Amino acid sequence: MNKNTRIYIAGHRGMVGSAIRRALTAKGYTNLIGRTSSELDLRDQSAVKDFFKTEKPEVVINAAARVGGILANNDYPYQFLMENLQIQNNLIDTAHKAEVEKFIFLGSSCIYPKLAPQPLKEEYLLTDSLEPTNEWYAIAKIAGVKACEAIRKQFGKDFVSLMPTNLYGSRDNFDLETSHVLPAMIRKFQDAKVNGNVPVELWGSGTPMREFLHVDDMADAVVFALENKLPEHLYNIGTGKDLTIKELAETIQEITGHNGEIIWDNSKPDGTPRKLMDVSKMKSAGWQATTNLEDGIQKTYKWFLQNSENYKQVKL
């Protein structure tokens, strides 16, 4: 991969896209292309085609998506399905027609069946029903995986899909209505701490198990996929280690310094009982994660405090 290769990062200002941009810049790549959503609406097919004609990217990294937690997926199923299909279909098809040889498609571990055996292997895709609380997003991402696989199979192009486990880190979303569990907990415990260590109420029982990957590790995996021709079309990206949501809450409580009570609301859904990735395929290819969870949460909490003006404290 030439350091002057024209690399388009779709979603370059989001948590994942910005981490990829930082990682590529650190490795000396100088021709990185990015557009904000106001500059380029990826749901608009003609706008995407015009962009490819003008900019002529040689590599495309799709880190653009409509994302959110259980609440957002449940409240906006149509947008999560349709907008993600529009974004990825426009990028994949236009990249293919523009003779882009390298395309990296990013998805999520939620593509796998709700009750699939643990840890999740790539071959479990489409073997059973999905988790209902995020099936709309999952169906869109599965379509993207299969589209990249089809292009690879039919045209021999290096289109590869990377499926990360739960991501967190700098530039995460800490909005309590749309965020994922880890940043939501950071926000809740911090708000509770500054409001006199009042109790923190969390959804569910705390028993489900989850795996978390720092976004800088995800970016490193993308750079690895960029610089190496991976032999297969689909790879899990994770740490291969998980913990209960209760253990996660206690870890974040300690890091934030909150001294109050944790109340579990069992009337709220837990989601999938366990989601642990089998990362042996990517490890065999030559890549593995390096950031441990506590260090990653410390870094994320520090970033949140430095950017807290973007997330007003809630009076509890």
Is 240 a known ligand-binding residue?
Answer: no
Alpha carbon distance 91, 51 (integer Å): 10
Is 56 a known ligand-binding residue?
Answer: no
137 flagged as catalytic: yes
User: Between the CA of residue 229 and those of 33, 56, 60, 99, 273, what are the distances in Å?
Assistant: 22, 21, 14, 17, 34
Is 243 a known ligand-binding residue?
Answer: no
Is 180 a known ligand-binding residue?
Answer: yes
Burial environment of residue 141 by CB neighbours within 10 A (0 to 12, 13 to 18, 19 or more): buried
Is 74 a known ligand-binding residue?
Answer: no
Is 66 a known ligand-binding residue?
Answer: no
Is 12 a known ligand-binding residue?
Answer: yes
Is 163 a known ligand-binding residue?
Answer: no
112, 137, 301, 311: the active-site residue: 137
Burial environment of residue 209 by CB neighbours within 10 A (0 to 12, 13 to 18, 19 or more): middle
Is 11 a known ligand-binding residue?
Answer: yes
Active site residues: 137
Residue set of the binding site for substrate? 188, 203, 210, 270
Detail the residues annotated as belonging to a binding site. Answer: 11-17, 106-109, 141, 164-167, 180, 188, 203, 210, 270
Query: Residues marked as binding for NADP(+)?
Result: 11-17, 106-109, 141, 164-167, 180
